Structure 1
Amino acid sequence: MANVYDFANTLDVRHFTHFGLAHPQSDELAGPKQLADWMRDRGLGAEGGRVTLAMFETALALRGALRAYLQCEPAERRRNRDVLNVLDGALVPFPLRVELRAGQGAILSAAREDALAGLSAVAVELHDAALLGSLDRLKMCASEECRRVFFDRSKPATRRWCMSTLCGNRMKTRAYRERQREAK
């Protein structure tokens, strides 16, 4: 599920100050070249040619739909038709095929043969994680100032923040101060 995690986190919308330093927002996928570089760095190479602007926009639509899906609580993900429809639509350009391989059995692989074929790995990982139940552990930080995607390794799978010492502490402190103001 590493590709799903990495792909969702290519957009960094964190906007908080920590130890007096403002966290800079960034987008690793600023253009087609950066997308091709990102895929190549992860072994998802753009061997089928160069990434065009239309392909880049297709990849951004997939990332946006994936982030919207992960922003929902795991139980809500299965019920939220709007989020599911958007993600389904964003996955349409990444068709998969079943291949039978000696020693491996049946595997899913990209049906695309162009520069974006490597992003089909995201679709495969989504499928596999949903089957294994690990997709419910991939969540988006509940802090509006963060929105980083993280993997919930807690035993009950109830984490809300990517880092309880940073985002969780900030949210709890803010809620405490608000309760104190209301009590006055």
Structure 2
Amino acid sequence: MSRESRKFHVPDALANLYDFANTLDLRHFIHHGVQHKQADELQDPAALGEWMHQHGLIQRAVAPSQKTFEAALRLRAAIRDYLKCEPAERHLKQAVTTPLNAAMEPLALSVAAIGKDGFALRPVTSDSQAGLSAIVAELYDAASAGTLARLKMCAADECRRVFFDRSKPGTRRWCQSTLCGNREKTRTYRERHRDDPASGI
């Protein structure tokens, strides 16, 4: 788990998937007068190898091939597009599921018996692609357990951070209600009263 996933109490079973989706940071809002800088943790194959090693997905921080690096970027983009959709609509949108299926296809997994817990999906290979396969396994396990529906993308256009919805009804739309939620509500309020002379706005 990363410091970020611990901070927001993301379940261990979803931590790598959560962190992987958030290696692309598209936030561009101003908070306390400071402009948030966009960033990408996966700038090149070496950065991907280091990221997977730090997350325990591969044994050594070896830079993967350019082909594997490009596969990682496709997988990340497809996962983010999938999580951007409302949970109840995800499997219905072919424009989202088709690229995701294509991105997952080269990442081989096998079923392994793991003792008292029964069975689990495990990467077939031991190379750098195994790290990506492990992320796909988390995606599958979360869908099977019913927890994937709580992994969402913040509805704020200037954020788009993936978050884990810990609310009891599972209906949160923003990663943090006190930040993105408040900005959205304030914006909506101002737009609603913009043309109302009595509002004073």
Q: TM-score, normalised by structure 2?
A: 0.87
% same residue: 55
Structure 1 window deviating more from structure 2 (138-147 vs 123-132): it is 123-132
CA contact (8 A) 1:138 1:150 kept: yes
Higher relative contact order (CA 8 A, sep 6+): 1
Is 1:98 equivalent to 2:98 in the alignment? no
What one-letter code is carried by the residue in structure 1 that aligns with 2:143?
A: A
Is 1:83 equivalent to 2:92 in the alignment? no
**SS of the residue 1:78 aligns to:** helix
Residue matched to 2:34: 21
What one-letter code is carried by the residue in structure 1 that aligns with 2:104?
A: L
Residue matched to 2:161: 148
CA contact (8 A) 1:70 1:140 kept: yes
CA contact (8 A) 1:48 1:115 kept: no
Structure 1 window deviating more from structure 2 (141-150 vs 72-81): it is 72-81
Give the Cα separation in 2 of the matches to 1:154 and 1:143.
18
> Cα RMSD between the aligned structures?
1.4
What one-letter code is carried by the residue in structure 2 that aligns with 1:126?
A: L
CA contact (8 A) 1:47 1:115 kept: no
Deviations 1:58-116 (A, max 9, x none): 00000000000000010110211110111111101211101224444322100133212
Give the Cα separation in 2 of the matches to 1:133 and 1:103.
21
Q: Point out where structure 1 has 5 or more consecutive residues left out of the alignment.
A: none
- Runs of 4+ displaced beyond 6 Å: none
Q: CA deviation at 1:49?
A: 5.7
Give the Cα separation in 2 of the matches to 1:72 and 1:168.
18
Is 1:108 equivalent to 2:121 in the alignment? yes
Q: TM-score, normalised by structure 1?
A: 0.95
Give the Cα separation in 2 of the matches to 1:48 and 1:37.
5
Residue matched to 1:30: 43
Give the Cα separation in 2 of the matches to 1:134 and 1:17.
32
CA contact (8 A) 1:49 1:114 kept: no
Is 1:132 equivalent to 2:119 in the alignment? no
User: Relative to 1, partners in 2 of residues 1:41 and 1:48: Cα closer, same or farther, differing over 3 Å?
Assistant: closer
Is 1:170 equivalent to 2:183 in the alignment? yes
CA contact (8 A) 1:8 1:149 kept: yes
Counterpart among 55, 59, 80 of residue 72 in structure 2: 59
CA contact (8 A) 2:49 2:61 kept: no
